[in-house]
Amino acid sequence: MSDPRPGRRFDQPAASDERTDDAATLRGAHAYLPEQASTPAPEEEMPSPALDAALAPPRKRRWGLLVLFTASLGLGTLEAGQTLYQATLGGDWLAGAWSALGLLALGLGGKALLGELWRLRKLRRHARLRERLDDTWPASGEGAQENAEPLALAESLRTQMGLAQGHPHWQSFIAAHEAHHSAAETRELLAWHLLRPRDQAARRLITRMSGETAVMVAVSPLTLVDMALMAWRNISMLDRIAALYGLQLGYASRLRLFREVLRNMAFAGASEMVTDAGMDLLSMNLAAKLSTRAGQGLGAGLLTARLGLRAIATTRPIAFTADERPRLADLRREVWQQLRRLDDSAQSGREPS
C-alpha cells in the first residue's frame, strides 16, 4: 500500500482582495418594515391645467339673477298686497280682484322658484355624494377598520335614492354585508344589490324608448315632427332614468343634467369613441338594407340609445367599472330588429295581392 501524498494548502489572496473591493462598491442594505406594503410605483401623469380647466364644468353661480328675481318677487308681492288693501278700503272690487290674482300668481311663482332651488340643491348633493363614493373605495382594504366610512356613505346613498329601511334591495345588502368586508367589497355589494336592479330597468327603458323613437321617426312624414319627437322622447327618457336613481328633475335641474350628459358625450374617451364609430359604421351598413325612412329611424334610435347610456353613466351614484359599463352594441340589435319588422311589413303591404 503506497503512502498518501503530503497535504497541500491553498489560499486565494487575489480573490479575497476582489471580494473586498466589490464589497466596498456595494450599497448598504435597506431594511423594510414588516407592515410596509410593497406596491409598484404609479405612473406619473403630466399635469395639464389648461385641459382640465377646459373640460371642467363652470362653477360660476348666477347670484345676481337670483337676487334680482327674488327682489322683484318680493316688491311685486308688497305692491299687490298694498293695492288689495286700498281696494278693500275704497270698495274697488275690480282692483281688489286683480290684486288677489296677482298675489296668487306671485305665490305660485315663488313656490316654483323654491322647488327649482330645492331640486338643484338635491342634484348638487347627488354629484357631491358621487364624488365621495368614487374617492372612497380603495383597490384593497384592511377589513373592518376601514368599513366605518363606506357604511356611512352607503346609508347616505340609501337616503339619497329615497329607499326605506325595509326596502328589499337595502335589506338584501344588509344581509350580505359582513364586518370583515373591505371597502372594495362593500362597493361591489352596493353595486350588486342596490344599483344592479336599477341598471337593468334603465337598460330596458332605453331599449324600449330608442326603439319607439326609431319607429316614430321612420313613419313620420316631416322633419320638424322628427325633431319634436326626438326632443320629447329624449327629455322623457332622461327624467325616467334620473328617477330610477333617486333624482327629481325640475326645469333648471333637467337643463343642467342634460348639459352634463352632452358634455360627457362630447368628451368621451378615445377608445370609446373608436368603438362608437365602429358601431356607427355597422349601423350604416345595416341602414343600407332598409328603406330611406327606416334608415333615418335607425340613426335616431341609436342617438337616443347613446344619450340614454350617457345619462345612466352620469346619474348613477357609483361609477361603472370597465366590465359593468353598458355598451351601444348591446342595444343596437333590438333597434335594428324593430325597424326590420316595420320595414318588412311596409314592403309586404305595398306588394299587389
Q: What is the per-residue pLDDT across 134-155, written as a single tens digit (0 to 9) for each?
A: 776 554 444 444 555 778 888 8
Q: Please, what is the Cα angle at 174 between 172 and 180, to 5 degrees?
A: 125
Contact in structure between 257 and 314 (CB atoms under 8 Å): yes
| Distance of alpha carbon 262 from alpha carbon 307, whole angstroms | 8
In this predicted structure, which of 45-54, 59-68, 90-99, 281-290 has the lowest mean pLDDT? 45-54
Q: Is residue 99 within 8 Å of residue 77, measured between CB atoms?
A: no
Cα 4 from chain centroid (whole Å): 90
Contacts of 125 (CB under 8 A, 6+ apart): 160
Q: Which residue has the cell 323654491?
A: 114
CA 307 to centroid of chain Cα atoms: 11
CA distance 311 to 247: 12
Q: According to DSSP H, which parts of 220-291 are helical?
A: 223-244, 251-266, 270-287
Q: Binning pLDDT at 50, 70 and 90, where does residue 51 land?
A: very low
Distance in angstroms (rounded) separating the CA atoms of residues 237 and 210:
9
Show Cβ contacts of residue 220 under 8 Å, excluding neighbours closer than 6 positions: 226, 229
pTM of the predicted model as reported, rounded to 2 decimal places: 0.61
- Which of 169, 186, 209 is CA-nearest to residue 335? 209
Mind listing the pLDDT tens digit for each residue in 152-204? 888 888 888 888 888 899 998 888 888 888 778 888 888 889 899 999 999 99
Q: Is 150 in contact with 135 (CB distance < 8 Å)? A: no
Query: What's the mean pLDDT in 325-340?
Result: 75
Please state, as a whole number, how many other Cβ atoms lie within 10 Å of the Cβ of residue 286: 19
Give one DSSP letter per residue of 106-168, joined into a string: HHHHHHHHHHHHHHHHHHHHHHHHHHHHHHH--SS--GGGG-HHHHHHHHHHHHHTT--TT-H
In single-letter form, the type of residue at position 33 comes to L
Burial class of residue 249 in the structure, from the number of CB atoms within 10 Å of its CB (0-12 exposed, 13-18 middle, 19+ buried): buried
pLDDT of residue 62: 63
> What is the predicted pLDDT for the residue at 350?
56
Domain ranges of the chain: 69-132, 195-347
Contact assessment for residue 192 and residue 172, using Cβ atoms and an 8 Å cutoff: no
pLDDT of res. 201: 92
d(CA 213, CA 299): 10
C-alpha cell at 344: 318588412
Which of 52-61, 127-136, 224-233, 317-326 is the least confident region?
Answer: 52-61
3-class secondary-structure state, position 352: coil
Can you tell me whether residue 43 is helix, strand or coil? coil
Work out the pLDDT band at 12, boundaries 50, 70, 90.
Answer: low
Q: Which of 7-16, 217-226, 255-264 has the lowest mean pLDDT?
A: 7-16
Euclidean distance between CA atoms 308 and 300, whole angstroms: 12
Across 70-74, 165-169, 238-242, 261-265, least confident range: 261-265
